[in-house]
Amino acid sequence: MRQAVILVGGKGTRLGGLTRNTPKPLLQIDGDRRFLDYLLTNVARHGISEILLIAGHLGDQVQQRYDGQRIGECEIIVVREPEPAGTGGALVHVRDRLDPVFLMLNGDSFFDFNYLALTSVLRPGDLGALALRWVGDARRYGATEQRDGRILSFREKDETLADGAWISGGVYLLRRSVLDYLGPLPCSIESDVFLQAAAAGRLGCATFEGYFLDIGLPETLQQGRDELPRVTRRPAVLLDRDSTLNVDTGYTHRIQDLRWTPGAVAAVRAINDAGWLALVVTNQSGIARGLYTEDQMRAFHAHMQRELAAAGAHIDGFYHCPFHPEAIVDTYRDADHPWRKPNPGMLRVALSDWQADTARSVMIGDQDSDIEAAKAAGVRGVKYEGGALDVLVRAAIAGA
Ligand SMILES: [Mg+2]
């Protein structure tokens, strides 16, 4: 999953004067942070490399603030719709840019779960897969009827939903072929595609329990202001790389040498599913020794991400220390670089970049230097001594 599309064109009429001069996703949450900032950060961290924002109402503001911006490796592109044409029209407008499979999100709701988990829900003949959330009062939303990972039908908003129902949480994995089912503009993905696809048994679904918020009402916008800064402050599992995630073949850097330790992929997936950050912090003295370059190391990490993605998992960020006292490459010679474990500098930067909840975070590694670095950075250290890494990681998360 390379690409995400976020629909940010809605008028937000139920928010009254608040959205007269501001697009709903650009409403302020905390300081200078807008609602859309939280959404973008969360999408980008899943290893998504391109986000298309489809803007409509007051789209110039979306364009000015976001077009061409980057979050890490992820590029943001703003496309403006000439006139409102429904959720279907928004997709038709970017049809030439869409990947065969892409993630789509509503720009006015925040549903916190492992987005890559949807990839295993989408079956070969499916047009899409929906992420469902149980809500105690579904009268605002309408509901879905589902069984065995399939959407059977949709129910309109009505009073009988007051006792709770499964709703679509506004995050979808779609095939580009949904475009073939859309009628003349304006049109709606929900009524033109999802109803038919569900009736034909071609709409997958999975349920998730993570935080859910729709900012469509003044009181839920206020709820977002009260809750989002805390909800998005995540603890991290800091992971050593060699002999922790991958078998160390001695300065491992060639993609054909990647062999995961037992349970390593499941361990990363468990971190993702728990809503924690997975951050790799690795000493790479092989770069200082001239055995390989930083670009070769990055290619190795990209290969790790591809293999993880196939299992619905991802690393949020890779941090490496290329410095060593006995470097052959001059630029990497440093007697005692603050990033080189057991020094805590690399861990501190990783935690700070992601504004992680340090008190609950944990460092897992196979060397004493990993544990010393953890102690110096003020996080728990857990030694990995072989065996199933996922068991160790789950216990470390549960112990927080
Ligand atoms: Mg190691």
For residue 244, give the 3-state DSSP assignment: coil
State yes or no: is 240 an active-site residue: yes
Q: Which of 201, 231, 261 is the last residue of a domain?
A: 231
pLDDT value of position 122: 96
Q: Are residues 49 and 67 in the same domain?
A: yes
Total domains present in the chain: 2
Taking the complete model, does pTM exceed 0.85, yes or no? yes
Q: Are residues 275 and 378 in the same domain?
A: yes
Q: Does the pLDDT at position 400 exceed 80?
A: no
Q: Which of 208, 231, 254 is the last residue of a domain?
A: 231
For the record, the structure tokens of 197 come out as 């696809």
Catalytic residue among 37, 126, 192, 242: 242
Q: Are residues 210 and 336 in the same domain?
A: no
Q: Residue 47 carries which DSSP code?
A: T
7 closest CA partner among 155, 224, 174: 174
Q: What is the DSSP string of 192-225?
A: IIIHHHHHTT-EEEEE--S-EEE--SHHHHHHHH
Catalytic residue among 240, 273, 370, 390: 240
Region 149-154: mean pLDDT is 96
Q: Does the pLDDT at position 192 exceed 90?
A: no
Question: Residues lining ligand 1 (ion), CB within 5 A?
Answer: 240, 242-243, 366
Q: What domain range is 85 assigned to?
A: 3-231
Q: Are residues 227 and 350 in the same domain?
A: no
Q: Are residues 39 and 142 in the same domain?
A: yes
Cα separation, 356 vs 377, whole angstroms: 12
pLDDT value of position 16: 85
Q: Are residues 80 and 132 in the same domain?
A: yes
Q: Are residues 277 and 221 in the same domain?
A: no
State yes or no: is 242 an active-site residue: yes
Band (257; pLDDT cuts 50, 70, 90): very high
**Residue 357 belongs to domain with CATH number:** 3.40.50.1000
Q: Are residues 185 and 268 in the same domain?
A: no
Region 323-337: mean pLDDT is 97
**Residue 162 belongs to domain with CATH number:** 3.90.550.10
Q: Are residues 111 and 182 in the same domain?
A: yes
